[in-house]
Structure 1
Amino acid sequence: MDNGSPESTITSVHKAASVIENRGNLDALFPDLRNTFNDSFSYISTKKEHVQPVALKESIILPAEGLESIRHFDTKTNAAGIATALNRAYYSIKGHLYIWDYVERKMTIHVEDDDIVGVAFVPPKAGIFAPEINHLLIISTVREVKIIAVSYSASSGLKVFKTDMSTNTSGINMKTITGTKFGRVFMLGTDGNVWDLDYRREETWFSGRCSKRLHTIRNDMLFLIQTTTDPVTQIALSETGDVLYQLTENSHIHVTYLGVDGQSYKDVLTYKDAAERANESLRTSKLLDPRTFKIVSINPTSSAESKSYHLVAITSTGCRLYLSHHKDNQHLKQDEAPNTLTLSHVRHPDESILPTDVFSHTLYKDGLFVGVKNQNQKPTEDTIVTYSPDLGSLTTPKIIMTGTSAYKEFDNLLKVPGKIISIVESTTSPHRINELSTPYETPGRTLLALTTYGIVVLIKQRPIDMLYRLLNSTNGDTAIRLQDYGSFFQHFGCINGVSLCLGLICSPSSINNTGINSVEPVTDVITGSAKVLLETLGQTLSDLNPQFTSRHDGLALFVYRAINSIWSKPLVKVPSNGASVVYTSTLSSTELQNTQQILKKLNILMTEKPNCFLRSAYKEEEESLKNMKELVAYMAEGLSFVEYMIKTGISNIVQGMKPESQNRLKTITLKDLLTTSDGRKLANDLSYALVDYTFSKYDNTGYVVDVLTQYCKSFCGANDVFLYKATKQIYAARSATNTTQARSILTESLGLLKKIALHIPADKAAEIVDDFVYQGYPVYGVELALSCTEARDPYHTTNGFVELGCPANDARAKIFKSKQPFYDIIFNLLYKSIASSLVKPDSKREVFRSTFTGCKDQAFAYYVFEKFTEKGLGPELINESPPYLHEFLSRTPFDYERANLLATYYKNKGRYEEAAITYFNLARETNDTSKRTAFLIEASNCARCVTAPAKQYDMFRLKQAIDQNLEEVRGQNIPTQ
């Protein structure tokens, strides 16, 4: 970070923050997918393996005992699935449940007396089990449903505990089991009905610890015999856990509202028009023949994908039906209960899919469709079909800004060994639909398929993964393969291309390269190749603004993406339960450290590549690049400061602040703390509190400086420590035993403050000056404020700026603005010295003398003189006659008040000729008769005082003119008859 003043730093980072937020609109305005749908369906097939949207990462083979047992698996009678949160796959063969740890490659077998027909790992209810129990294993046999408690962590592994909770199945096999986030468990029985599995801590008079309850969608009494002509074949829960969807054999969809707490069960409606409505939507499609129409899966969607639809149903031919369970714009209220089910869009697969093709094991989430095509076609392998959003068509700057995105998709075919039994998406890694905005170190989306050979791991490749693989394949020969990268940059946009390159170059060292969700480390070859792309393909003009290059806008977008997750978070939070106030940080040390690493690497890159990131043919861009570098360095140090406070004890530090500062801190975001003047003041208070807290632990200035400099550097380092020490000394001087001791203490503190004058904020300087004045040493206050202005402009460059009349676009205006608060401090002190009597040893004259003696800052003198004239204190200036006063009073253009003072100045100085001329000119400028008369008399008196022989003729002519004007004035005053 540049060693500039606090004011200049805040100005730079504030401008940079505005730029990065503006460019961040490419992410912030990412569309609701429903708004991009239209009647034409466009698919893009990728030929190169490196840029395929879904790729085969690895195949994990079952151990020998697993390969032997899974040959007997029967989808009709056995259960199977994958619990990604536990890194376990499972399947049952008769009474044996095989649980396979596919990460550690270990198999365990759980044995039941009866055949196992249903298995699931679900969340537990709160308050029923010990805190370490974070999952329940539900096992359904032909005789009973049993609950087993499970404790799992990455360090201690998986542990199971008996609970003695079970209930009889009453002859109904519970084949499908699913749990809500509230701990509620639903089961789908072979009777075609949905059952509720309930459990409690203690038995009651009328029920045991575990029981089941029937839910039926029929209104007749047939449920008593537990049969149905349209059985439920699949159940699914909304992301929020408050809506249950049921799919029936006849492709009807039943909607049930579970309540805000997830504990109710209110039937909303049954949607029976899917086949008819879908056919009406796409009459020309052969894939939606009502005679063969069949929905094979229902998939709730997230609000991140769209607020306009809530469910995607997939047909056996691979068509997608987008359905909404709200009407009348009720979708705008996310907590409202569903009130309908309507078809909003239908999308058929690409042209390669035939009406005879059959999809199974289908799933859909956040824009990604996955399905197995014609599973029984080949006995040794399966074909997986995927469709995913083409982000290049959704994030082009022109499209984002105009809101006219058109939905296109990548299609993908993958051959996997073995027959797929179950396929799920891993829940261990968060993701975004706009994968362009995801950092490289955060693992992308992962699909796991349990097959008759083992686990197949599929990765959803983000654009940054594609770029990584492209760069990795060239072995450093990037420059001679620019055409390939040019196509990549063109497809996703050069701005995004630059951002992705920076994402690889600046990726933190804490990359997870082990396990299922690992990402590959970024090597020197990768970063070197990415830098080549920045220097070649990044110099095109930006699509957002032709006055900037893609390198500039891509840099701003990357910074936005790097800090966005923490940018708008409050810095601290406090408990709201009325307990003793304990402040905690909303930011985790891990995310602070990762963001710091990214910003520090970026700062190094900008320093090493000034031709890319600091210099530009465009003046506006060059200034913006320098501001962004200032922000990057400042943000890195600010995060280090926050991390050190968390490590040291943020609550104790915050409690050392003033009450008003504590209240402000409760609401301020990291962005405002680091980029606004108000935030800077609060950051200063935090720094002061941190120094105070550190001194309370280590009463040694040198050690405190070393500690804070090591962890916080210039954000809270030596300058802050010395400022703290000096202000403490000034306060201590109040209790000095005598005047000599007080002066000695204040003199020492003033000397210390002058050494760090550049780094003293204006508001802090004002406090210190007030303390000096209070203790009777206003001269010290003047010296401090003058030192602060001198440090900000040691060569007095603003003198020329003021001489030119302060032009608005002058580069020196920024320096003048940084000095202005200190000018105000000095003026206020001078004004107080006139308005009140000061305590000795300082007098008004001493204050003026200390202010202006040897003054070389003409801009300061002019600024203060202007303030004096505005306050009507011009005569005080005349009495003191400071340097530059004559230049100020006599400068053009003409100003009546200044000319009046100038005349007095000449008269007091004995310069009677100039005084006479100035008074005479003032008389001619005023229309006030009395003032005109007074000026003319003063001019006449001054003219008579000129005694030099050489001036006698000139004065004679001037007196004639004065007398003539006096006669005219007297004539105007004669009353008419």
Structure 2
Amino acid sequence: MGSVVTQTPVRPVPGIWPQTPAARPPPIPAPSFQSPTTPMSRPSLIPSQPSAGLITTNPSDAPIQASMRPPESLEPVERAARTINESLASESRFPDVDSYLSQGYSADYDIQSSTTWAPFQRAGFYRIPDEIFEQYNNAQLTTSMGLFAELRYAWTTIDNALYMWDYSAPRPELLGFEGQSHSILAVKLAVPRAGVFLPNIKNVIVIGTTAEIFLLGLGTDSGPGGSSALSLFQTGMSVSVRGLDVSVIASSAKTGRIFFGGRTDNDIYEVTYQQEDRWFASRCAKICHTSGAAKSLTWTFSSFAHGQKEYVEQIVVDDSRDLLYTLSSTSNIRVFHIKPEGGLPLLVTKPASEIYDNIGHIINQSEALNNRVKIVSISPLPASEASRYHLVAVTATGYRIYLSAKSATSYSYGSSTRSSAPISVQAQHVKVPPVSPNPGHSSTWGTDSSTDVHHPIRTLTTTRLAARYPPGYFFCFTARDANSPTDQLFISAPDAGRLLRSSEPGQTSRTSESAIWLSLGSRAEDIGLVIPYSAPIPNPVGYGNDLAVQFDKAIPEIAILTNTGIHIIRRRRLVDIFAALSSQGGGPEGFQHEVSNLIRAYGRTETLATALAVACGQGVEDTGSAQAVRVNDPEVLELARKTFIEYGGKPSINQNSITDRSVPLIDAVRPSPRHAAIALYLSRLLRSTWKNVIALESTTPAGYQINPAVPLKKLRDVQESLSALQRFFQTNKSFIKGLSGPDDLSATSTKDDEIALQGEHRALHSLVKFTSDTIEGLSFILVLFEEKVAEIVPLLPEASRPEMLKLTFEELFTTKKGYELAKELVKAIVNRNIAKGSNVETVAEALRRKCGSFCSADDVVIFKAQEQLRRAAEAGTNNDSSRNLLNESLKLFEKVAHSLPHDYLESAVKQYTDLQFFAGAIQLVLRVAHEKDKANEALSWMAEGRPEPDPRKAKFDLRSQCYDLIHAVIVAVDKTTEQGPSFVDGHPTLAATRRNEAYDVISRSKDEAFLTNLYDWYLQQGWYDRLLATESPFIVTYLQRRSTEDILYADLLWKYYSQTNQFSEAAKIQLQLARSSFPLSLEKRIEYLSRARANASTYTPGGSRKMKQQLLQEITELLDIATIQDEVLQRLRDDYRLGPDRRQEVLDQVNGLILDINTLFNNYADNAGYYDLCLLIYQVADHRDPAQIKQTWQQLLQSVHDKVQEEGQIQPFEAIADEVRSLGSKMRVAETTFPVQTLLPILEKYSFEHQRNVAPPHWVVDIFLSLEIPCERLFEILEMMFFSGDPPFVGSNRKYIASELVYVVGRWFHDSTRAGSVIFGSEVAATKVQETMHALLQQGRAAGLDEETTRVAREVVERVGRLLG
């Protein structure tokens, strides 16, 4: 019930009430009822201002002591996920090319003499087929060779024929094209523009001859048995190029555009092609983008300067920036913009002289570096690798010149964007060739102290062919002279590990490269990228960290074509170097020395991660063959295991974190490098999957499909690697401190060591647990995609379907959202198999074995219960078999009630309801609600007033969600019962029986939370009668608890008490309602009090009679006050003095809570001049101050007199007579508030002074007689007035009192004789009257008695004398 206002004491004594501030009305005439010593003023009608409250302040200046926060409460998988993300973030901060190749030069190399440390290795050699040599022998004019490295194909042209073969095949077959008659000058593999050719044509071969360029389609062609092989397709597309002597062709894989140049000029041409001829464009044509005024002046000047004709030697395309670069025969470089609409404007021309001028202030020019040294190769740096640097130019002496470009929109380092076209090119860094050609030479000197670099360096002279591939792999082919039959190959690459640690003391320069010399034994003809480098992230910062992808991506491979065969060069990973050191390290001592070198070069964490990877089988043997073979030598694996265990380091406590004592010690533990190594290894295994979504949807001609976003083979490889790691943990658990559990604590010597070990265990355990969970998660994904996922997703809840397509591997492995969605998918898989009629138990057991976390033993029970339910539905509704199956399913569901998901529960309840198994549905819901809140947290939360926020509210919400299902069952029960009779032939029908069963389950429930929810629902439906008819001991508790919240419940409570004949309890509730703070009108409160008085007055057996009387008295007194308050309210509504600005506020104050008697008197009755109500308040309060009561009567009578005189409708005496009679009746002529001895003189005086000769005689006495005031009492008062001689009744004026006295005596005599009793009630009274009349007659002349008064007085004396005889 609403908060009950504490009532003030019923009988306070009104004292001095503060006057409210208001405008005073004009002065009024002197009052008729006021004595000269009592000042009087007409009160205004504005409530008094509240007194100022006491303002208190809190001691906010008190110092607040810092408290230690609790330890982090992370689940192991959450802690592991955070560690993995930190590791990934750390690796993403790998320095970019722009930062470590600053403006200047660098000349640091670590040239490896040992194959164990070599950055690259020979991975295979494939000879040129004999058939090619046979064709060479028949050549007449021209021959050339090249690679389609991305397809693992090599090609050769012999006069007008093109032959190509799969060089990796054991017995390659030649694929030839001889369908044209002109000599072939140039060949290029290109990616065609989309939509031009058939879908199976993925590439085109661009062939340039002496007469034309034509396009040859290259694609797969289905062979017998469903096999596919590459085939050539005639496209019919060709364009004449007579006189151009085509020598170089390039293409854009992004746009499909094809560009070419020839030896006859320096122009850039483009081959345009489309699917069919159009009005203004043929299927195939050529465009010259540099003709006319667009030609570069550089060509003119250089031609005259050198006396030779300039032509294009190399064209390269940078699709990441939409740029095309050309290198001319005079070493001039041009930059073109590949525009989307088809244009190719020239942006920059950079003559060789300018390039050498740019580097003149960086490094001294010499014989090996000047503008006469030819540039033999250019290689673009994609925007994902570098922001500033765009191009690398390689000179014939092996110097690498890094060129940067600046655009018009940004003129500072790092701010150019891919879409902004450059307006200038500058050479900013020079990579000097190694000073010494000798293997084993390690150049570690700094650039500032070096002088050798300013002298000519000829180690790479003469460079004939060079190429650079991301992230900095440099291949340089050198020969002694142009006619040398063999080439030396110099290969170098940045060392990622050293770049990461370059800022640490003792580390080599950031620009240092690891290099190796290889002898090819023949002349190189072409080089191509077979397996490109896959960057960890597509941004310059982090792009070059090839350590991060050594377990996750394919190992980069480069093919080199010579005149004897194809060499395969493979990048060596650090893990491969470690494995080689383990097997060739020179015994245990030599290997320990190599481990020290690794730690010094790459750091302890990187070395340990590498050792762990080798121990888990990630190393690849250097067999010299193209096929990579995993290292499985037990000695190598053992050395790796020992390295990981023995060099793992120890955990420590970060002293800086605990100085302020605000961090728990265990959170200040810094885990060992071993922990960081495990995290690093895990992050590298999961890199390509971690942030990726699991599934992708697509629409194909075959229909809607959902496919894995990551190939399943990749997932199996990751799972295999994780399983190896898991086996490593299990095998070496006892050797790794932190994994062996409490046993390690015995070895600790200090408290700090013990806490550090606990922190280490927490960190390592999280990673071990994460590994296990991830293996299981991958198993689940593999199981999922064994099914038709497109048929499973529609079975998910509607809200979960889009979430499924957005779910990432990280979320699946580490978040509750992923786990819940996986459970939904398991359910969908089972439901699909149920629909197909499969054995559910077999499917569920298979899921449990492969991914038990997502399909537990409880899930298997649930699926069995669902199957029983399905069989019951198939059996029908009204048979024993169906009922038995339903009961069996109920038992199964109840077994797993603690873990039954809500959607399963909802589905089961719906099916039970459809099968009219109402009791089972209700019983299951109640069981689930209990099992999921065994501690009754929901009930305790409700009992404490439902505070917010509070974790127990979640339990309440869960229970409410369950109970809502019971509501639906009850509705279904009632609907079923209404459709037919309850009895047939005196027996209950089946529907009635099931209804009784359902309500029996409800009536037997002792779940207060459920009953509260149920009764709330009854009231929401408006089923008040059903609630009141409920026979439950909890109904009173429920209504009492809820009655504090809403008046509806309080009303129902007193009605329930009345209905059950508990009238005293009903009266108590009604009394509380009258006093409550609910928004009730005063009229409603009076109604409650009236009902309460009636109920309290009703006899009920039992109980304390005294308490009942006290209750009745309390109700009556409060009702009296409320009645007066109601009268005040009515007066205020009609009072013209109450201004419109305050009227509603004042009325609302009165028309609400029952006010205490002081407030009612002080602020309203007395303040407003409602003196009649003041007198009533005196009576209710038992106020006994005669002077104040007299004053109030005087004020009342004066106000009535003044009002009547103002209105002029009746005589004043009439109004006063009515007022006195009315109040006398209301107050039951109470002696204290209706003092006759005071009122009679006041009225007689008023009559004499104001109503003489106006009012009828004896009107004052008649008022009191009408109120049944005894004549004896009036006689005594009038006698006293006559003989006292108080003004104005002195002298002859006393005749008026004498007349009143004689009139009263006459009435008294008449009344007593008529009743047949003794006159005047007694002889004593008669004697007293006789004596008074004698005295009156004796003073008659002095008192001015008239004849009539004298006559009556004598008659009275005579009659009394005769009767008393």
**TM-score interval, normalised by the smaller of the two chains:** 0.7 to 0.9
Aligned partners of 1:459 and 1:675: how far apart in 2? 36
Deviation at 1:362, TM superposition (A): 0.7
Q: Secondary structure at the match of 1:265?
A: coil
Q: Corresponding residue for 2:1228?
A: none
Q: Corresponding residue for 2:739?
A: 614
Q: Corresponding residue for 1:351?
A: 435
1:735-814 alignment runs, 5 A limit: 748-749=888-889, 751-753=891-893, 755-756=895-896, 780-781=924-925, 783-784=927-928, 787=931
Correspondent of 1:116 among 165, 184, 187: 184
Residue-by-residue CA offset, 1:850-874 (whole Å, 9 max, x unaligned): 99xxxxxxxxxxxxxxxxxxxxx9x
Q: Corresponding residue for 2:643?
A: 533
Q: Corresponding residue for 1:566?
A: 689
Q: Corresponding residue for 1:301?
A: 381
Q: In the superposition, relative to structure 1, how do residues 833 and 419 fare at CA in structure 2: closer, same or farther (>3 Å)?
A: closer
Correspondent of 1:652 among 767, 791, 803: 791
Correspondent of 1:697 among 836, 840, 848: 836
The alignment status of 1:408 with 2:480, answered yes or no, reads: no
Q: Corresponding residue for 1:636?
A: 775
Q: Corresponding residue for 2:114?
A: 48
1:320-335 alignment runs, 5 A limit: 320-327=400-407, 328=410, 331=415, 333-335=417-419
Aligned partners of 1:443 and 1:103: how far apart in 2? 17
Q: Corresponding residue for 1:248?
A: 328
**Are the aligned partners of 1:67 and 1:452 in contact in 2 as well (CA < 8 Å)?**
no
The alignment status of 1:661 with 2:661, answered yes or no, reads: no
Deviation at 1:253, TM superposition (A): 1.8
The alignment status of 1:394 with 2:482, answered yes or no, reads: no
Q: Secondary structure at the match of 1:436?
A: coil
Looking at CA atoms only, which structure, 1 or 2, has the larger radius of gyration?
A: 2
Q: Given residue 559 of structure 2, which amino acid in structure 1 is its aligned partner?
A: L
Aligned partners of 1:173 and 1:648: how far apart in 2? 58
Aligned partners of 1:759 and 1:601: how far apart in 2? 33
Deviation at 1:683, TM superposition (A): 2.1
Residue-by-residue CA offset, 1:852-908 (whole Å, 9 max, x unaligned): xxxxxxxxxxxxxxxxxxxxx9x969x99xxxxxxxxxxxxxxxxxxxxxxxxxxxx
**Are the aligned partners of 1:687 and 1:720 in contact in 2 as well (CA < 8 Å)?**
no
Q: Secondary structure at the match of 1:177?
A: strand
Deviation at 1:633, TM superposition (A): 1.7
Q: In the superposition, relative to structure 1, how do residues 577 and 827 fare at CA in structure 2: closer, same or farther (>3 Å)?
A: closer
Q: Corresponding residue for 2:370?
A: 290
Aligned partners of 2:923 and 2:772: how far apart in 1? 37
TM (normalized to structure 1)?
0.73
The alignment status of 1:269 with 2:348, answered yes or no, reads: yes
Q: In the superposition, relative to structure 1, how do residues 252 and 206 fare at CA in structure 2: closer, same or farther (>3 Å)?
A: same
**Are the aligned partners of 2:109 and 2:434 in contact in 1 as well (CA < 8 Å)?**
yes
Q: Secondary structure at the match of 2:477?
A: strand
Residue-by-residue CA offset, 1:301-357 (whole Å, 9 max, x unaligned): 123322332222222222222223343168564344444433343332332374442
Aligned partners of 2:707 and 2:434: how far apart in 1? 52
Aligned partners of 2:843 and 2:117: how far apart in 1? 53
Correspondent of 1:185 among 241, 245, 258: 258
Q: In the superposition, relative to structure 1, how do residues 299 and 650 fare at CA in structure 2: closer, same or farther (>3 Å)?
A: same
1:474-873 alignment runs, 5 A limit: 481-506=591-616, 518-525=627-634, 526-539=636-649, 547-575=670-698, 582-610=705-733, 611-612=735-736, 614-615=739-740, 618-716=757-855, 718-726=857-865, 748-749=888-889, 751-753=891-893, 755-756=895-896, 780-781=924-925, 783-784=927-928, 787=931, 825=958, 839-843=999-1003, 846-847=1006-1007
Q: Given residue 197 of structure 2, which amino acid in structure 1 is its aligned partner?
A: F
Q: Given residue 125 of structure 1, which amino acid in structure 2 is its aligned partner?
A: R
Q: Secondary structure at the match of 2:547?
A: helix
Q: Secondary structure at the match of 1:251?
A: coil
Which runs of 5 or more structure 2 residues have no equivalent in the other structure? 1-71, 304-308, 438-455, 537-543, 655-667, 745-755, 938-949, 971-997, 1012-1033, 1042-1365
Deviation at 1:189, TM superposition (A): 0.7
Deviation at 1:522, TM superposition (A): 3.0
Q: In the superposition, relative to structure 1, how do residues 628 and 54 fare at CA in structure 2: closer, same or farther (>3 Å)?
A: same
**Are the aligned partners of 2:617 and 2:630 in contact in 1 as well (CA < 8 Å)?**
no
Q: In the superposition, relative to structure 1, how do residues 96 and 780 fare at CA in structure 2: closer, same or farther (>3 Å)?
A: closer
**Are the aligned partners of 2:120 and 2:516 in contact in 1 as well (CA < 8 Å)?**
yes
Deviates more, 1:244-253 or 1:550-559: 244-253
Q: Secondary structure at the match of 1:574?
A: strand
Aligned partners of 1:542 and 1:86: how far apart in 2? 53
Q: Which has the higher contact order (CA 8 A, sep 6+)?
A: 2
Q: Corresponding residue for 2:468?
A: 364
Q: Given residue 688 of structure 1, which amino acid in structure 2 is its aligned partner?
A: K
TM (normalized to structure 2)?
0.54
Aligned partners of 1:614 and 1:595: how far apart in 2? 23
Deviation at 1:513, TM superposition (A): 11
Aligned partners of 1:449 and 1:14: how far apart in 2? 48
Q: Corresponding residue for 2:285?
A: 211
Q: Corresponding residue for 2:91?
A: 27
Q: Corresponding residue for 2:522?
A: 418
**Are the aligned partners of 1:10 and 1:676 in contact in 2 as well (CA < 8 Å)?**
no
Deviation at 1:82, TM superposition (A): 0.8
Q: In the superposition, relative to structure 1, how do residues 243 and 628 fare at CA in structure 2: closer, same or farther (>3 Å)?
A: same
Deviation at 1:52, TM superposition (A): 0.6
**Are the aligned partners of 1:297 and 1:362 in contact in 2 as well (CA < 8 Å)?**
yes
Q: Given residue 347 of structure 2, which amino acid in structure 1 is its aligned partner?
A: V
Q: In the superposition, relative to structure 1, how do residues 746 and 161 fare at CA in structure 2: closer, same or farther (>3 Å)?
A: closer
Q: Given residue 426 of structure 2, which amino acid in structure 1 is its aligned partner?
A: T
Q: Given residue 287 of structure 2, which amino acid in structure 1 is its aligned partner?
A: R
Aligned partners of 2:136 and 2:951: how far apart in 1? 76
The alignment status of 1:342 with 2:426, answered yes or no, reads: yes
1:57-206 alignment runs, 5 A limit: 57-64=123-130, 66=132, 78-104=143-169, 105-106=171-172, 108=174, 110-111=177-178, 113-152=181-220, 156-181=228-253, 182-191=255-264, 192-204=266-278
Report the count of equivalent residues: 823
**Are the aligned partners of 2:580 and 2:621 in contact in 1 as well (CA < 8 Å)?**
no
Aligned partners of 2:348 and 2:822: how far apart in 1? 56
Aligned partners of 2:508 and 2:855: how far apart in 1? 47
Deviates more, 1:303-312 or 1:449-458: 303-312
Aligned partners of 1:266 and 1:670: how far apart in 2? 45
Q: Corresponding residue for 1:968?
A: none
**Are the aligned partners of 1:399 and 1:405 in contact in 2 as well (CA < 8 Å)?**
no
Deviation at 1:514, TM superposition (A): 12
Q: Secondary structure at the match of 1:423?
A: strand
Q: In the superposition, relative to structure 1, how do residues 770 and 136 fare at CA in structure 2: closer, same or farther (>3 Å)?
A: closer
Q: Given residue 219 of structure 1, which amino acid in structure 2 is its aligned partner?
A: A
Which runs of 5 or more structure 1 residues have no equivalent in the other structure? 1-7, 799-816, 852-872, 881-977
Deviation at 1:414, TM superposition (A): 1.5
Q: Corresponding residue for 1:806?
A: none
Residue-by-residue CA offset, 1:357-403 (whole Å, 9 max, x unaligned): 23221111211111112352894532111221111222349869xx9
Aligned partners of 1:479 and 1:779: how far apart in 2? 74
Aligned partners of 1:780 and 1:238: how far apart in 2? 67
Aligned partners of 2:82 and 2:872: how far apart in 1? 44
Q: In the superposition, relative to structure 1, how do residues 57 and 515 fare at CA in structure 2: closer, same or farther (>3 Å)?
A: closer
Q: In the superposition, relative to structure 1, how do residues 304 and 490 fare at CA in structure 2: closer, same or farther (>3 Å)?
A: farther
**Are the aligned partners of 2:561 and 2:567 in contact in 1 as well (CA < 8 Å)?**
yes
